[in-house]
Structure 1
């Protein structure tokens, strides 16, 4: 299986502080990790600090 995370850094929150915003997104996601099975097909939207969708993460089955 493969884990994929895609985040756009073109939103206003990221333009102000790209490293800080990406760090916040990763910390928020990691803090919620226990709520997911992390099985193929799992995934969710990723939001910036202004609560705008800026990406997605997903788990894929590599055998397909």
Structure 2
């Protein structure tokens, strides 16, 4: 299985806050993953510091050779 994390940096990418926002997202969600069952089909939206949906993590079946 694969754990996928996708974040749309949107406006934060051009104003220099992209690294800070991604770092905050990784700390917050990384700290909460122990509450989640990591099995194919699991997923959850990711939010920025202004509580806007900016991405999602998900667990999918591995495609074989990867």
Runs of 4+ in 1 over 2 A off after TM superposition: 11-16
Partner of 2:45: 45
| TM-score under structure 1 length normalisation | 0.87
RMSD between superposed Cα atoms in Å: 2.1
Partner of 1:26: 26
Q: Provide structure 2 residue ranges, at least 5 long, that are not aligned to the other structure.
A: none
Which runs of no fewer than 5 residues in structure 1 stay unpaired? none
How high is the TM-score relative to the length of structure 2? 0.84
Per the alignment, residue 17 of structure 2 pairs with 17
Distance 2:14 2:26 in 1: 13
SS at match of 1:22: helix
State whether residues 25 and 47 of structure 1, in contact with CA within 8 Å, keep that contact through their aligned partners in structure 2: yes
Do the aligned partners of 1:25 and 1:46 also contact (CA within 8 Å) in 2?
yes
Tell me the matched-pair count: 64
